[in-house]
Each structure stands twice: as structure tokens, then as C-alpha cells.
Structure 1
């Protein structure tokens, strides 16, 4: 995908430049009025899905985009073939040779919505040892990396994910969790998602209420300049725009000037409430070398948690944090393997230190 920013004396002039260079198929990503030193102009950012002129294609194998080269019709056909293969292999998933202590958890995971591919992988890890616990292959398949300064050395953390997943709340909760672990650290929260109205005020209000600095940026230039001038902050948390079908995460990072930052970790915010087809699409949009973990939100609203296994199987990403319940205080905890197993097998929500004082959540 090719992304470019055009400037003109008015919106029409900038759009004419877009049409002249990228053609009528260009997608308009943003259009804003700018002013500086008494001079006003209009800025339009547009994208074209494919190459234009001598520019290399976004999915060229020579580029480190994080997406598989040639994503498109060939990959859709392969998805269909894989689906048919799984349908044919389903009758071969014979649990009869397993010990009851192995068979029952696998059957439970199937009922919880764990996909056939993940089940087959777990089955392969059990068939050579009838005494092995299901938690042995499950621990390998569903990695965990608890969020906190001890496990995460990156200075810049960004949250990405679909709209409605609780991305902004997750950003605040992660920043507050980091602050609790390192109370003397200086933290900056940046709104780069273009949140307007109540969402933007919510982020600013609670960031400042928690003793953290807050900034809103309206362009990639502002973000780059701000990051270049933040050496006095120990940690930075960025709310990224939601990735769309026309603009995946790598394109967003490139547009925002974050693609080459070695101190950046992106955390994908997801909820088990999404349908499998939606989750699969979100995995595709956010597949990137910069995506380092999954933060699971709205766990108290879900009726099953099999997609936690499916997500780990599909992406290889560890779960870094688990979020549940309204409000900000005591509603996000660093993930631990035992928490995931309690979710999967007992539907038992994590217990934060705050909740320990006032009783467990009722599911």
C-alpha cells in the first residue's frame, strides 16, 4: 500500500493532487486544515492499494511489512483449501486412545470454541504420553508474557485494535499498571488515534488524574517531533488509530513515523466477544514485526474463552494482560498461565488486588 500526504491552498486543490498522482481509486484517510505562523493550508492523506509509478508494492517480498507476500486471491484460495482439509480431518480426531484426564479437557476445549487446527496440535502433543497433562502442550501453544517493566524493556508502548474493543481504556490501564510497578517513573500518554469529543476528554482526564502527562497529536509530523522531545519521560504510551481494511497496522506505523523505532512494542487489544471471522481479519490487519502481545478485554462479558487459544495458535503472540469489568482501577492484571487455565476450564475471572478486598467478580 502506498500512502502519501498532499498539501493545497484548499481541500479541492489537495484532492486534485491526490487524483492526479494516485488516481481515482485512492482512499482518503484524513483531511485537515493546518496553520502555522499566520499561514493556512489544507492537508490530505491518501492511500492506494498497490504500486504507483516506480514505488514498490506494499506487499513486495523485499519489504518487511509483516504481512505475507502476495496477500490476496492466492491466500484466500489457500484459506478455502485449509478449511476443506480441516473438515476432512475432523473425523480423524479420535480421542478414544487418550486417558480420561486428557480426553475430557480436549472435549471441553472443543465446546469452548477452540478450532480444529489448535485441537489437532494439542492432540499431537498428547498421543505419545498417556500420562501427560493437557496443560503441557497447552502452555507451549498459548504463551504468556505478563505486562510490566520487569518483563518489557521497551520504552514506547502502543495499543492497536478494532474500534469498540476497549483500546483507549486498555491504554490507560496499562499505563496505570506500569506506574504502580514503578511509582517514580515519568509517563506520557499520547492520543494519536484522532479520538474526538468524549473519547479524547476521557483519555486526557484520567491520564492527568493519575499523575501522567497527556498530549494529543493531529499529524505524523507532530508525533515525530513530540517523540524526539520526550527524553525526560521514562515510558510513553500511544493510542493508535484503528486499523482498517484499507490501512493495516504496518501502513499506520509507517504513516505515523513509528515503523523504524526499535524501542516500540505494539499490543493488540481484542475481546472474546468477536466472531471467528472478525478475529481472523483483525489478525491479518495487525500482523507486524512490531506487534508483540495480545491484551484481552471485556472478559466479564464473554460466555466462553476458546478464542484465547485460537489467537495464540494463529499468531504466536503471548497474552500480556487481562482486562475485565468497568472502571479503571483494579480491572486489568498482568496475565499468568494459571489465570488463562481458570478462564478456559472454570470460567473464573482473574482476581486483582483491588477485587481481593471486596470479593470476587460474579460472572
Structure 2
């Protein structure tokens, strides 16, 4: 079997040349696009009849044969080349990926040698489908392009990334196993400490604070004595300010996220202050211009209490209202509730930095049933301003108070008041450390223990 190459401007012209030169018994081996058109590689077993007839006719009546013009350099690199640089790079990448594959132009499959060629199948395949080109850089007369470096180095980079990811996964597994071994060793050496740490964490105390408290536990104490000692130590760590708002005068602003009960807390404090010093000695101002009927709600409380209620929409208006109400003994400011991730929170806090107004004491209002990570983010968001203390609301909705105590202790935030209902002014109390710790212990005993948690057993197979 012999192999020949044919060139044409398009597939139709190349097929015509193959048929004219080799006849209908030729088999198309491959095709590809070259600089000046299409290249076809055809194979044949015997000398084509068309060529023999042309030789015999030429011996009788010799006629000059038109030679194929040699393509010029402008024709090779002209408009018949690749459409774009991207197409050229794609051809280079394809060539790089097929360097190690056997070329059809230099080696023929044994099955193709044993079977007789099918002319109809060869032409149908050439006309209806252009197969992937098989390149032979040794026999090709066309200029070859250098292989791009990114295509060659892509596989090693991918392997390196996979190795790095595998190493990171193994490191995480090893760290977890070592931590388990250290924890098991510590549990064997000090089982009482481990038990007390678990009790504190189940009560809602953060792990870091629980380990600190347990480290001070006397060694010779039993379980009951150690637990009472821990509760007393926890109470000593809680900082309370006492009844500071209702015993002092000035301007107090309650800040905090949305839905924490700031407006109701302002009304409770105003009612308590009016009972002690008179309604004419207290006033309320709201700067909440985002919530619907925020001023109307505070005005309703003010009408019941009998005190003055104003509203301000900017720092200038707030400074003007504070100047007009300077004869009041206590002025309570109700702020708008924003998320700790809301940029408007910074703008609201900047309203209190106006040098024309009198100093404002800020108290952070947070829900007691908030998750501990959320409490951390809230306190960090308000650390840009000086906080005089905090007020924890909705204690009646809590199932655990350890998160509140952990946040107050770890961030050294004084606790001023706690609220446990919607009644004005009954449901507000001065914060006491021992009362908070006792309440936390009662909630843990009622809801946190294994036999009182009330958790339903879930069938794992059904869940999957």
C-alpha cells in the first residue's frame, strides 16, 4: 500500500484531485487544514487505471501537462491561514497533545492492510465528517510551530495543586487525632476537671472561659463543692454597675441591633424615673426615622407617663433638641436598630460625636437569647464608641444564660439592667451577678441536662 498527499483550496477540490489521480479505489486516511487550503492523505494498493491510461495516451500523442504552480510565501501566510490567533493556539495545543500518538501517515493499522478498501465508505466519511487530524511532523512540508509552555506545564501544576490539597487534608486529620489524644490524656489525669468543663459548656459558657474557671478549682473538693465554687467564681467575674441610669442625670442613648427592645426599655426607664423624680424631670427623644410608627410608639408611652417626647432626623436637630431640653434631669434617646453588618450603623453612631451637644452615655441593648458568636460580632461592631454598660432583654425567652455571661465577662462589659417581659415599668430589674448566675444554673438544670433536655431521638437511617 502506498500513500500520497493532495492539496486543494477546499475539500471538494482536494477530493477531485484524489479521484483524478488515484481513481475511485483510493482510501482517504486523514485530512487537515493547512496554510493554503486542505491536505488529504490517500492510500492505494496498485497503480490507478486513470494514470495508466494517461501514460498510454501520452505515448501515442504526447501533450504538455500543466504543472501545479508553486504557492508563494504570501499565499502560504495570507488570508487562507487560521482565522485568528486563538485558532492557531488551539492547533498548537492539539499538536502538543498528539505528539506521542502514532501518526496515520507513517504507520497503517494492520486491520486496514488485511481488509479491502471500500470506496463508497471512504468518500462518505470524507464528505460528511471531518475527522481529527493526525499530524506527522517528519513528513509534513508545512512549517511546524513551537509548543506553548503553558500547555506543557499545565499537568504538573495540576498535580502539584492536588498534592498540596492532599497534604492539607492529612494535616487537618492529624491535628484532630492529636487533639483527641491530648483530650483523652487530660480526661484520664483529671476526670473531675473534664466533667466540670463539660457542665459549664453545656450551661452555655464558652470553652475558653470554662477552662479558665475550672483551672482554679481546688483539687481536694468533691463534685458538689467544686460546682458551687465555680458558680461563685463565675459571679465574681461578672461586672455590674447597679442602678446607675436612674440615680444619675444627663443624656443616655440606648443602642443595639434591631428587635432587641430598645423602645420598650426606654419607656420602662422613663417610667421608673418619673415615679422617682416626677414626669417633668424626664424626656425622650427618638432618632429612629427608618421604622414605621417609631415616633408614634414612643409618643404613646410618653403620653401615658406624662413626659416630653421629641424626634430628630440629623445630628444638628439632635443637638438643638438637647439644648431645648437642657433643663430636664434625664434625657433618654431611642436609636434605630441596625444589623452589625449594616453601614448605616456607623453613620448613626457618628451623630453622637457632634461637638456642639452635651456628652451622651451609650448603653448597648442585646437579647439574652442571641447566639454567642452573634453577641461577639455585635459587641465588636460597637467597640468604636465608648459603652458605659449593657442591658440584656428578653430573659423570659431564654433556655440558657451562659452565652450572656460569657460575653459580659470576656469583653469586660458592665451589665446595668435586665428585662424579662413587656410590662411597663414592672419588667425591668437592676442586674445582680449572683442572680444572673443562679438563673443560668436553674436553666441548665431544667433544660440542659440529659434527662431534662427533651431532645427527640432521631433515626439516623431514616434521616439518611
TM class by shorter chain equals 0.5 to 0.7
Q: Tell me the CA shift for residue 179 of structure 1.
A: 2.9
Q: Which of 202, 205, 212 pairs up with 1:114?
A: 205
Contact 2:319 2:357 in 1 (8 A): no
Are 2:321 and 1:226 aligned?
Answer: yes
User: 2:393 maps to which residue?
Assistant: 297
Unaligned runs of 5+ in 2: 1-174, 445-464
What is the rounded CA distance, in whole Å, between the counterparts of 1:222 and 1:262 in structure 2?
Answer: 13
Partner SS state of residue 134, structure 1: helix
User: 1:323 maps to which residue?
Assistant: 419
Q: Which of 159, 162, 166 pairs up with 2:261?
A: 166
User: 1:125 maps to which residue?
Assistant: 216
CA change 1:127–1:266 in 2 (3 A) is farther
What is the rounded CA distance, in whole Å, between the counterparts of 2:356 and 2:314 in structure 1?
Answer: 17
Q: Tell me the CA shift for residue 259 of structure 1.
A: 7.5
User: 1:141 maps to which residue?
Assistant: 237
What is the rounded CA distance, in whole Å, between the counterparts of 1:115 and 1:177 in structure 2?
Answer: 35
What is the rounded CA distance, in whole Å, between the counterparts of 1:160 and 1:208 in structure 2?
Answer: 23
Q: What TM-score do the two structures reach when normalised by structure 2?
A: 0.50
Residue correspondences, number: 261
Alignment of 1:34-53 (within 5 A): none
What is the rounded CA distance, in whole Å, between the counterparts of 1:174 and 1:266 in structure 2?
Answer: 14
Q: Tell me the CA shift for residue 303 of structure 1.
A: 1.1
What is the rounded CA distance, in whole Å, between the counterparts of 2:188 and 2:428 in structure 1?
Answer: 37
Partner SS state of residue 330, structure 1: coil
What is the rounded CA distance, in whole Å, between the counterparts of 1:185 and 1:157 in structure 2?
Answer: 17
Contact 2:390 2:417 in 1 (8 A): yes
What is the rounded CA distance, in whole Å, between the counterparts of 2:254 and 2:371 in structure 1?
Answer: 21
Contact 1:190 1:217 in 2 (8 A): yes
CA change 1:233–1:303 in 2 (3 A) is same
Higher fraction of helix = 2
Q: Tell me the CA shift for residue 336 of structure 1.
A: 1.2
User: 1:188 maps to which residue?
Assistant: 283
Partner SS state of residue 158, structure 1: strand
Partner SS state of residue 215, structure 2: helix
Q: Tell me the CA shift for residue 256 of structure 1.
A: 4.1
Q: Which of 240, 258, 261 pairs up with 2:335?
A: 240
User: 1:208 maps to which residue?
Assistant: 303
- Larger Cα Rg: Structure 1 or Structure 2? 2
Higher fraction of strand = 1
CA change 1:134–1:164 in 2 (3 A) is same
Q: Tell me the CA shift for residue 217 of structure 1.
A: 0.8
Alignment of 1:325-340 (within 5 A): 325-340=421-436
Partner SS state of residue 347, structure 1: helix
Contact 2:269 2:425 in 1 (8 A): no
Contact 2:239 2:409 in 1 (8 A): no
Contact 2:284 2:332 in 1 (8 A): yes
Deviation per residue, 1:220-253 (Å, 9 max, x gap): 1100111123221001100122344243766533
Are 2:404 and 1:313 aligned?
Answer: no
Q: What TM-score do the two structures reach when normalised by structure 1?
A: 0.62
Unaligned runs of 5+ in 1: 1-83, 349-363
Q: Which of 178, 192, 201 pairs up with 2:273?
A: 178
User: 2:6 maps to which residue?
Assistant: none
